[in-house]
Amino acid sequence: MKNVLKLGILGAGGFTGQELIRILSRHSGADLQYLTSSEYAGKKLREVFPALATPTVAALGFSPHPQTLADVPALDAIFLATPDEVSLKWAPLFIERGIRVIDIAGAFRLKNSEDFKSYYGLDHNAPAALAEAVYGMPETDRAAIKNAKLIANPGCYPTAALLPLYVYRELIDFTKPVIVDAKSGTSGAGGRKEKDGLGYSTVYENFRAYKTAKHQHAPEIAQQLSLFAGQKVALRFTPYLLPMYRGILSTAYISPKPGVTDADFNRLATGVNEPFLRFRESVDQIELKSVQHTNFCDFSHHFDAASGVVEIVAAIDNLMKGAAGQAVQNMNLMFGFEETTGVY
């Protein structure tokens, strides 16, 4: 384990970048040395985000995005809070230089490059990096994360949906479809720059589904569910926009295996020993206020014997467990820190 890591953030001015700055500026093993932003290049952190300007990083300035590797200082690891095409370009170059990468974009989450092209609209031109990328969900991939050079940080919707489904995986009949609907605050859907129809001004006093036919997180959820199940899983995923800033509440509807009871679900849920998974006794106890600004995932289930359907509900903060918090959790594992350092 290195005592102090030299770290950088590409895309440090966005919502996730800001969360990373907040966490890492207080992390005992982190030395933030390199922040990039096209909008804030040349400005000091204390000028742009005074609330984040702790003594250790207040004087740190934003650099323009790099043009060549020569623009990037010697680092132990770098976080890519960037558009997918930027991650595609830079992740392989950083790896080649010996910088370990935590990619918070979607560039390396889907192992099928045709799915990536279909859902992200880009040709995947980094097959070698894709082959060695590790899906960075600590609760499911902890051992592989420790030795990874490139982490594909999970999407926010997949994190909320997959974590409780992983807990209950041995009880689920995966021969039947899994239905997931999830509601997100606007920071998850639109990013820092408002997109038409996704910004708060549009969502305020409103509620609707979006990208219903083809959301980029659907194949990611299906991919990981199929790994849990050991077989292809049919998924129906619908995302919704909440008239609020941060948080995701996800509801999955599954069929239990024959003979499985509510007691079996309770046994697995109460036996969870994960620092950031918290089981609640009732789905009615799952709410966003309990997880906002934290790295926790709260979850519960309702076993409806009359319909034969089990409802599994989870809540996360999309900017923390769904992005920056999970990214730092991954960094801790990669470099031998206590997994909860800085995020607990």
* Alpha helix (H) residue ranges in the chain: 15-24, 45-48, 84-97, 113-120, 127-132, 138-146, 156-167, 186-189, 200-203, 218-229, 262-270, 325-334
Domain with CATH 3.30.360.10 in the chain: 157-318
Q: Out of 45, 104, 133, 156, which one is annotated catalytic?
A: 156
Q: How far apart are CA 316 and CA 294, in angstroms?
A: 8
C-alpha distances out from residue 141 to 105, 153, 201, Å: 18, 11, 38
CATH superfamily of 5-154+322-334: NAD(P)-binding Rossmann-like Domain (3.40.50.720)
Active-site annotation holds for 297: no
315 burial type by CB count under 10 A (0-12 exposed, 13-18 middle, 19+ buried): buried
* Topology (CATH) of 157-318: Dihydrodipicolinate Reductase; domain 2 (3.30.360)
Record the tokens describing residue 15, joined without a space. Answer: 């919502």
Find out whether 326 and 295 touch, Cβ atoms under 8 Å: yes
Of the candidates 9, 10, 23, the residue with the CA atom closest to the CA atom of residue 54 = 23
Record the tokens describing residue 218, joined without a space. Answer: 């659907």
When computed from its CA atoms, the radius of gyration of the chain, rounded to whole angstroms, is 20
pLDDT tens digit at each of 344 positions of the chain: 668 999 999 999 999 999 999 999 999 999 999 999 999 999 999 999 999 999 989 889 999 999 999 999 999 999 999 999 999 999 999 999 999 999 999 999 999 999 999 999 999 999 999 999 999 999 999 999 999 999 999 999 999 999 999 999 999 999 999 999 999 998 876 554 545 556 666 778 899 999 999 999 999 999 999 999 999 999 999 999 999 999 999 999 999 999 999 999 999 999 999 999 999 999 999 999 999 999 999 999 999 999 999 999 999 999 999 999 999 999 999 999 999 999 98
Domain with CATH 3.40.50.720 in the chain: 5-154+322-334
